[in-house]
Amino acid sequence: MSGIGGTASEGPTGLDIFSKYEPLRQRASVVSKLGIDPFNMTFDDIMGPTRGRIGNREIILAGTNNYLGLTYDEGAREAAKDAIDRHGTGTTGSRIANGSYTEHAKLEADLAEHLGKPSCIVFTTGYVTNLAAMSGLAGPKDVIFIDADAHACIIDGTRLATNKTTVRFRHNNPEDLDKRLSRQELDEGGHALVVIEGLYSMFGDIAPIAEFAEVCRRHGAYLYVDEAHSYGVFGEGGRGIAEEQGCLDQVDFYSGTFSKSLASVGGFCASNHPEFELLRKVMRPYMFTASAAPSNICAAQAALDAIKTRPELRQNIKARAAQLHAGLDEMGFDLCAPASPVIAARRPNEAQAAMEWNWLLKEGVYVNLAVPPGTPQSSSLLRISVSAAHTEADVNAILSKFRALKENGNAILADGMARLQAAE
């Protein structure tokens, strides 16, 4: 092994520290030979909520999770700029040190009021939100039950928790959760914490939260719902799937992110239980992470005001999602779920999905390439996220490119294979 300042060398096994990633390197190498690397691409300019630029090409943005299109909202931008003028660019400290400002507390109070919860805590990112809240809630005698398709931050939250046991139940299956809760013996003083999502980010399928809430009620379990992709979009008041299904008051812990509908960076967790405030003193990702910059907090505050006062945003995203889903379905694409702001089309394999992703980008449409292990059922997907800022014409333009993708499928595959052969 090399010394300090030296060059890394092979270890005692004859392998270097990166050898364990050789299968990943080979997969990434194949994708990179097909054109632009979808996992390392950059936009030269973001021109608005639905337009970007790569080189001299204008691109329709159809994979940004900018659900309400508020990243360019005048109120959000002015609020962020004003916060920088008043407070500078960053807090330089955690919430328990020097990083709590009046704006943090106001946003927490307003989110709590909007959700009808007595407590709400704001975090630096949505990912950190679930890491912190779940690890803070689950003690050594508690058991966490998570949906089989849980997001990475939920899985990592269970790993950070001090509990002994994590149980997975079948995706979106309250009956399976019921069985597993019935079979699980809790230690004296232990509790069950059930964690689900409102709208699942890869397939775009929706959880039957009301049914899960009933199962939790029968077993005395606590229900934790991550509405990162559904807050602001669903429900009469934009409070998510739980509001739409009439069970928001039955959700013990409700988490969300600023990086989707709230058009900023950060996250929050609200609770039915005032005692949740105690966790500020035990959640390590909260205690030892610098707090969100004032500009991010104030942009999210402005976006929250838009969620409360502009129902037309939800109406438009619903209409555009229905339009896009219907068009893709009519073309014969294998869609993963009914219409929602997330629409994913299954592709036969990772290589073909990457070829098609590159072709769409060249044709001026940016979507997400989603592949294992970040997808359920080891699926390879072309994933689209609809925005309220998309127009009917935008969706028609996206559909025209997918129609051409269908019609030119053989040529796209042939070109991709030729690229791979030429790179060998």
Mean pLDDT, rounded, for 393-399: 98
- pLDDT surpassing 70 at residue 158: yes
Residue with tokens 């945003």: 313
Beta-strand relationship, 267-271 and 45-48: unpaired
pLDDT at 193: 97
Q: Is residue 204 part of a domain?
A: yes
Asked if residue 310 lies in contact with residue 73, where contact means CB atoms within 8 angstroms, the answer is no
Q: How far apart are CA 45 and CA 215, in angstroms?
A: 48
- Could you tell me if residue 6 is inside a domain? no
Give the 3-state secondary structure percentages of the chain, helix then strand then coil, rounded to 5.
45, 15, 40
The residue among 191, 178, 179, 182 whose CA lies nearest residue 144 is 191
Residues 6+ apart with CB under 8 A from 280: 95, 96, 121, 286, 287
Q: How confident is the model at residue 29 (pLDDT cuts 50, 70, 90)?
A: confident
371 neighbors 305 (Cβ within 8 angstroms): no
- In the chain, % of residues over pLDDT 70: 96
* Residue 415 pLDDT: 86
Residue ending a domain, among 285, 309, 333, is: 309
The answer to whether residue 138 scores a pLDDT higher than 70 is yes
Centre a 10 Å sphere on the Cβ of residue 9 and count the other Cβ atoms it contains. Answer: 9
Mean pLDDT of 6-23: 75
202 and 346 fall within a common domain:
no
> What pLDDT is attached to residue 206?
98
Q: Write phi, then psi, for 33 (nearest 5 degrees).
A: -75, -15
Q: Supply the CATH number for residue 291's domain.
A: 3.40.640.10
Assign 91 to helix, strand or coil. Answer: coil
* 388, pLDDT greater than 70: yes
**Does any domain span residue 161?**
yes
Judge if 143 and 280 occupy the same domain: yes
SS3 of residue 5 by DSSP: coil
pLDDT in tens, 174-224: 999 999 999 998 889 999 999 999 999 999 999 999 999 999 999 999 999
Quote the pLDDT of residue 355. 94
Final residue of a structural domain among 261, 278, 309: 309
Distance from chain centroid for Cα 107: 21
**The predicted structure's pLDDT at residue 253:** 98
Rounded CA-CA distance 190/104 in Å is 33
pLDDT at 1 over 50: no
Residue 4 has pLDDT above 90, yes or no: no
- Residue 52 domain-assigned? yes
Number of independent structural domains in the chain: 2
Q: Are residues 303 and 329 in the same domain?
A: no
Q: How many helices (H) and strands (E) does the chain have?
A: 14, 14
| Whole-number percent of the chain with pLDDT over 90 | 86
Q: Residue 164: pLDDT band by 50, 70, 90 thresholds?
A: confident
Grade residue 7 by pLDDT with cuts at 50, 70 and 90: low
Element (H, E) at 192: strand 192-197
The SS3 of residue 416 is helix
Do 171 and 302 have their domain in common?
yes
422 pLDDT higher than 90: no
**pLDDT band at residue 234 under the 50/70/90 scheme:** very high
pLDDT band at 10 (very low <50, low <70, confident <90, very high): low
Q: What is the mean pLDDT of residues 392-408?
A: 97
Alpha carbons within 13 A on the beta-carbon side of 195: 29
Are 288 and 386 part of one and the same domain? no
Q: Give the start-end residues of each E strand in 186-298.
A: 192-197, 222-226, 253-257, 267-271
Same domain for 224 and 276, yes or no, is yes
Cα–Cα distance between 164 and 148 in angstroms, integer?
A: 18
Residue 401, domain member (yes or no): yes
Domain housing 305: 73-309
pLDDT band of residue 58 (cuts 50, 70, 90) is: very high
Q: Based on the fold, state whether residues 286 and 146 are members of the same structural domain.
A: yes
Write down the mean pLDDT value for the chain. Answer: 94
Q: Is residue 17 part of a domain?
A: no
pLDDT score, position 175: 98
**Residue 6 in this model has a pLDDT that exceeds 50:** no
Q: Is position 118 within any domain?
A: yes
Are 205 and 217 contained in the same domain?
yes
pLDDT at 423 over 80: no
Residues 121 and 266 in one domain: yes
Q: In what order do the strands lie in the sheet with 119-123?
A: 119-123, 267-271, 253-257, 222-226, 192-197, 143-147, 165-169
- Take residue 103 and report the two structure tokens written for it: 């704006």
The last residue of one of the domains, among 245, 274, 309, is 309
| Same domain membership, residue 340 and residue 266 | no
Are 269 and 251 members of one domain? yes
pLDDT in tens, 69-111: 999 999 999 999 999 999 999 999 999 999 999 999 999 999 9
Could you tell me if 87 and 210 lie in one domain?
yes
Give the pLDDT of residue 2.
41
Q: What pLDDT does residue 9 have?
A: 58
Task: Kindly report, residue by residue over 236-260, the tens digit of the pLDDT.
Answer: 999 999 999 999 999 999 999 999 9
